[in-house]
Chain A
């Protein structure tokens, strides 16, 4: 079992959801990134994603674009990111996932990248512009090195693509919540619950939702749908705002603790196939304080199945993909 799989299994067992936090490696410097990751792990992040800066981040909104430019200006390179991970591995036990664009990975060399990353203690890699159709060469090297190659599923993914992605993705499945680039949004997309339900029909792998998730309330809503919530731009923006402040690391840590709070124990297993009509139309509402844990979506018995949560039988006539 890889570190990612073990993490999600452990959280499921405790009825918890994962908080996945994203930092742009090298923003404002790799030394600070290192401190931020340690603080994140201490304050409740269950998985940490490290963005590898790229000159042309076409899947990213302005906040992460700016962070990438700052990181590149500070001299961040793939080899230096991997060295940083190697030093971090001695300090933190959380799974570390790189989020990269394909060209810097290609330039490093696929085999060399997979080996060096795995040796450094990287657990998984997400490549924003590498759909499964193009991923075979990297997937082969990643598998040989014991690195989880995580794929993304989008709102536009057709049913056959959802199946393909669910089958290929390792570690977890990254659900892109909206059609768009990374960045904070006021509201979560209304069709998110449907999207997750569709995905749950074809996989038991952990599902994490990212893009547009920035507040504890939104994280709480995600916690009722998925195994984990991924927060990127909101954290990166905080790093941008507080860079240079002596309280940067602490402030980010406080924010992460706030994000993690609604995901802590008592959520039961993540809903697999939710019962029809169970308030799916309203996953966006902020739960009243202390009341979020009794959500009707969950399939209750806490401790019901570590790692392999009981999948409720498919409702008769459930849409087949």
Chain B
């Protein structure tokens, strides 16, 4: 498998690329150059490493979930604890790198899109830290669903802009952020939060999250004296997943499994499983698998977890899926909620509903594998933000 991906125009095979209005082409090329230069800049790298260590709390632990493993009676389940990162999710890895890049490019204003609010909170956090102006676009429906995160962003000094257009969720927030960027591109940095969008975003976001996989390699070598047998992570756009997976792509013996949101079940049409039920198309600047109708209109995704509620998937995931390197499965809302409850009760760890999808599949998988095998689950975020959703799903009131 070639490791020289993507090509100069950001293509992973037929996926990826730059499908944007001409106004954004030169800025994207400039961004790519700035990122390439920053990667080679030792001072930049030292500053990022220091922030990841001292501010974000890296490295995150690799934790053997013993009681969960025992309960499943099969493979050992390890959790890569991104939920312990500052702001409560892996999102901070990417945000710190890109916010530093924005400063390096002398942009004083950053904009971001957010679904569940985790990327918005992380961006607002980094903006506060680096003294940048910050506007976050969020679908009106998500603003209602995630009031707590909206308030957190405002406390951090960000402006939250509610997007009423279209389906009023993450995809519309990205449209609106892109419209803002087209308008203010000379002064504004678009801090995209997932491993998608036009080149160089998928590569940049992947590079910044690859610290997850690199740490996991080191940690499994120390604990297991070898690499893990299976990696499992949830995939909406796919940022935490590509971060965990990427450093293992060349290790053919490591099985790599992405878990998509099955929503109410693939058959119902209410889900977010673009790999399982989508078709190749172009949205938000890149070619990938998308949920769409026969006329090429983008469908509305559905998932109990707002962070997976997106009708597309990162182009690198699409490439490795077609290449047969990554497997994709789906987990329904109900199964994810069950995963949430099991992990909470057995390990005292409340996962984000996004991460609960990965947990649920790891449980399923562990039962089919011998005790000698080791599964690493990307526990991408903590579940505090989802408590009210869980309460509602369980038919209980909070307090």
Chain A residues close to B by CB (< 8 Å): 54-59, 61-62, 65, 69, 72, 77-79, 101-108, 128-131, 133-134, 151-158, 161, 165, 176, 179-181
Q: Is B23 an interface residue (CB 8 A)?
A: yes
Complex formed: what's the CA distance from A131 to B297 in Å? 20
Q: Given A106-B281, A179-B23, check contact A78 B18 (CB 8 Å).
A: no
Shortest beta-carbon distance from B303 to chain A in Å: 18
Whether A106 lies near B25 (C-beta < 8 A) is no
Residues of B within 8 A of A165 (CB): 22
Task: Across the interface, name the chain B residue whose C-beta is closest to A60.
Answer: B179
Shortest beta-carbon distance from B193 to chain A in Å: 17
Whether B298 lies near A103 (C-beta < 8 A) is yes
Within the complex, which residue of A78, A128, A153 is in contact with B295, where a contact is CB–CB below 8 Å? A78
Q: Which of B68-76, B97-105, B181-189, B380-388 has 4 or more CB atoms under 8 Å from chain A? A: B181-189
Q: Is B313 an interface residue (CB 8 A)?
A: no
Whether B283 lies near A103 (C-beta < 8 A) is yes
Q: Is B20 an interface residue (CB 8 A)?
A: yes
Grouping DSSP codes into helix (H, G, I), strand (E, B) and loop, the B interface class, with mixed when no group exceeds half, is mixed
Residues of A within 8 A of B184 (CB): 179
Shortest beta-carbon distance from B102 to chain A in Å: 18
Q: Is B87 an interface residue (CB 8 A)?
A: no
Render B104-139 as a binary contact track against A, CB cut-off 8 A, 1 for contact: 000000000000000000000000000000000000
5 A-B Cβ contacts within 8 A? A106-B282, A131-B21, A156-B24, A179-B184, A179-B185
Residues of A within 8 A of B174 (CB): 58
Task: Across the interface, name the chain A residue whose C-beta is closest to B172.
Answer: A56
Complex formed: what's the CA distance from A134 to B18 in Å? 7
Residues of A within 8 A of B368 (CB): none
Within the complex, which residue of A69, A72, A180 is in contact with B183, where a contact is CB–CB below 8 Å? A180
Whether B21 lies near A152 (C-beta < 8 A) is yes
Complex formed: what's the CA distance from A108 to B295 in Å? 7
Q: Is B165 an interface residue (CB 8 A)?
A: yes
Q: Given A103-B292, A107-B292, check contact A56 B18 (CB 8 Å).
A: no
Q: Given A56-B298, A78-B295, A181-B179, check contact A157 B22 (CB 8 Å).
A: yes
Render B256-298 as a binary contact track against A, CB cut-off 8 A, 1 for contact: 0000000000000000000000011111110000101011111
Complex formed: what's the CA distance from A65 to B163 in Å? 13
Within the complex, which residue of A56, A79, A128 is in contact with B283, where a contact is CB–CB below 8 Å? A56
Whether B21 lies near A154 (C-beta < 8 A) is yes
Whether A129 lies near B21 (C-beta < 8 A) is yes
Complex formed: what's the CA distance from A80 to B55 in Å? 56
Whether A56 lies near B166 (C-beta < 8 A) is yes
Task: Across the interface, name the chain A residue whose C-beta is closest to B199.
Answer: A133
Task: Across the interface, name the chain B residue whose C-beta is closest to A108.
Answer: B296
Shortest beta-carbon distance from A114 to chain B in Å: 15
Per the 8 Å Cβ criterion, residues 26-75 of B in contact with A are 26-27
Residue from B18, B172, B283, B294 whose CB has the most chain A CB atoms within 10 Å: B283
Residues of B within 8 A of A153 (CB): 22
Complex formed: what's the CA distance from A153 to B175 in Å? 21
Whether A179 lies near B183 (C-beta < 8 A) is yes
Within the complex, which residue of A78, A134, A176 is in contact with B296, where a contact is CB–CB below 8 Å? A78
Residues of A within 8 A of B9 (CB): 133-134
Chain B residues close to A by CB (< 8 Å): 9, 17-27, 165-166, 171-172, 174-175, 178-179, 182-186, 279-285, 290, 292, 294-298
Within the complex, which residue of B25, B165, B280, B290 is in contact with A131, where a contact is CB–CB below 8 Å? B25
Residues of B within 8 A of A79 (CB): 295
Residues of B within 8 A of A152 (CB): 21-22
Within the complex, which residue of A65, A69, A102, A157 is in contact with B282, where a contact is CB–CB below 8 Å? A102
Q: Given A59-B182, A181-B183, check contact A129 B282 (CB 8 Å).
A: yes
Residues of B within 8 A of A72 (CB): 297
Complex formed: what's the CA distance from A107 to B294 in Å? 7
Whether A102 lies near B19 (C-beta < 8 A) is yes
Shortest beta-carbon distance from A269 to chain B in Å: 27
Whether B23 lies near A176 (C-beta < 8 A) is yes
Identify 18 new A-B residue pairs, CB closer than 8 A, beyond the known A56-B166, A128-B21: A58-B179, A103-B282, A103-B283, A106-B280, A107-B295, A129-B19, A129-B20, A131-B18, A133-B25, A153-B22, A154-B22, A158-B26, A176-B21, A179-B23, A179-B182, A179-B185, A180-B23, A181-B179
Shortest beta-carbon distance from B59 to chain A in Å: 38
Whether B182 lies near A104 (C-beta < 8 A) is no
Residues of A within 8 A of B294 (CB): 107
Residues of A within 8 A of B171 (CB): 56
Shortest beta-carbon distance from B244 to chain A in Å: 29
Whether A106 lies near B296 (C-beta < 8 A) is yes
Whether A103 lies near B281 (C-beta < 8 A) is yes
Residues of B within 8 A of A156 (CB): 22-27, 185-186
Complex formed: what's the CA distance from A29 to B58 in Å? 57
Residue from A131, A152, A153, A157 whose CB has the most chain B CB atoms within 10 Å: A131
Residues of B within 8 A of A181 (CB): 179, 182-183
Closest 10 interchain pairs by CB?
A107-B296, A104-B296, A154-B23, A180-B183, A154-B22, A103-B296, A55-B297, A77-B295, A59-B21, A55-B298
Task: Across the interface, name the chain A residue whose C-beta is closest to B293.
Answer: A107
Whether B178 lies near A58 (C-beta < 8 A) is yes
Within the complex, which residue of B183, B284, B295 is in contact with A104, where a contact is CB–CB below 8 Å? B295
Q: Given A105-B296, A106-B296, check contact A58 B21 (CB 8 Å).
A: yes
Shortest beta-carbon distance from B199 to chain A in Å: 10
Complex formed: what's the CA distance from A154 to B284 in Å? 19
Residues of B within 8 A of A133 (CB): 9, 17-18, 25
Residues of B within 8 A of A58 (CB): 21, 174-175, 178-179, 182, 284
Shortest beta-carbon distance from B8 to chain A in Å: 10
Complex formed: what's the CA distance from A197 to B109 in Å? 32
Within the complex, which residue of A78, A161, A179 is in contact with B25, where a contact is CB–CB below 8 Å? A161
Whether B186 lies near A65 (C-beta < 8 A) is no
Residues of B within 8 A of A104 (CB): 295-297
